Amino acid sequence: MRKTVLTIWICAVFAVASIGLLPAASWAEPKGTVIMFHAGSLSIPFEAMEKAFKERYPKIEILREAAGSQACARKVIDLKKPCDIIASADYVVIDKLLIPSHADWNIRFASNQLVLCYTDKSRHADRVNEQNWYEILQEKDVVWGHSDPNLDPCGYRSLMALQLAEKHYGIPGFYEAVIANRPQENIRPKSVELVSLLQTGNMDYAWEYRSVAVQHGLRYITLPVEINLSDYAFDDFYSQAVVSVTGETPGSFMDIRGQSCTYGLTLIKDAQNEEAAIAFLDYILDPEGGLKVLDEMGQPPFIPCRVPTAEMKAKIPVVLQDKVEVRD
């Protein structure tokens, strides 16, 4: 009798133990490197996400490269650089350049807004405010700049904000007058580069995303919602702004219409480490994971994240599908 009890007991222990072991055996932990190209304005939140993610998956190495969003796409298309994930400061870049040749879907995961940054050393820092910034930018001794509209979405968005300011405040000719006070030398390839110009006192005011201003501890002026491109409910108003940027070949141009700042995320089709990349995407899209980090760093996330159509949702890896909703 005692023997039987013992046998049953031992069997039970083994059974429980093997149930415990079973998933561990069949579920191999993803490992290896994940290569990610992302917009310069995402550098700081992704650095924090990478750290937190590595605690969950110590065997995965995330290699990140920051560049202008368009340049990120170029690295994949032209240079054929191996890449798993692309995060763009404008989801349109993914639609325009990567789908359908290099990617199948495009998740909108965060928004942002434009602000005018300055430091306490900037000229007229003591008196600049929401009511007079557009006058200060027209003053001769003020050095202000934005990033290159041909390379960086923040660049054309800065110009759009100025065009919208002309409409919103009702000052005819404002856009041309203010641009005339911004020599070409004040343009930089990426908006984040303007931060060091502000901090070293080479520039007084610079157009940035609010997230960049928060992350770098810069002072900034919050602009009216009609100007700052933050809310897609205002997309109709934003679309009045049109900026001409360089097209496919030197000398050709195309028009970009104003739209709210919406960030896009995609997985490259022939990703070299799809399994680990999906694990990272799963973390990024998690409201308690990556999206929380974004929120803390001044980049309001969409919870849940969005895709425009049900067809596109069907193309997303199954494990990620419950983290997105279909919403135009």
Q: Taking CB under 8 A as the rule, does residue 201 contact other proteins?
A: yes
Q: Taking CB under 8 A as the rule, does residue 187 contact other proteins?
A: yes
Query: Which 207-246 positions form the footprint of other proteins (CB under 8 A)?
Result: 246
Q: How many residues bind other proteins (CB under 8 A)?
A: 32
Q: Taking CB under 8 A as the rule, does residue 79 contact other proteins?
A: yes
Query: Which 82-121 positions form the footprint of other proteins (CB under 8 A)?
Result: 121
The DSSP annotation for 31-78 comes to -EEEEEEEEGGGHHHHHHHHHHHHHH-TTEEEEEEEE-HHHHHHHHHT
- Encoding tokens for residue 1? 């009798």
- Encoding tokens for residue 137? 């930018």
Among 94, 103, 151, 277, binds other proteins (CB under 8 A): 151
**Residue 78 CB, nearest approach to other proteins (Å):** 4
**Residue 247 CB, nearest approach to other proteins (Å):** 9
Among 7, 18, 132, 196, binds other proteins (CB under 8 A): 196
CA distance 137 to 237: 23
The DSSP annotation for 68-114 comes to -HHHHHHHHHTS----SEEEESSHHHIIIIITTTTBS--EEEEE--E
> What stretch of H or E contains 4?
helix 2-26
Q: Taking CB under 8 A as the rule, does residue 248 contact other proteins?
A: yes
Q: Taking CB under 8 A as the rule, does residue 203 contact other proteins?
A: yes
User: Does the bond joining 100 to the residue before it have cis omega, within 30 degrees of 0?
Assistant: yes
Query: Which 3-62 positions form the footprint of other proteins (CB under 8 A)?
Result: none
**Residue 245 CB, nearest approach to other proteins (Å):** 9
Residues 6+ apart with CB under 8 A from 172: 166
Place of tokens 């000398």: 251
Beta pairing class for 187-188 and 301-307: unpaired
Among 5, 19, 78, 126, binds other proteins (CB under 8 A): 78
Tell me the three state secondary structure of residue 295. Answer: helix
Q: Taking CB under 8 A as the rule, does residue 126 contact other proteins?
A: no
Q: Taking CB under 8 A as the rule, does residue 184 contact other proteins?
A: yes
**Residue 35 CB, nearest approach to other proteins (Å):** 19
**Residue 77 CB, nearest approach to other proteins (Å):** 7
Binding site for other proteins (CB under 8 A): 67-68, 70-71, 74, 77-79, 121, 148, 150-151, 183-189, 193, 196-197, 199-203, 246, 248-251
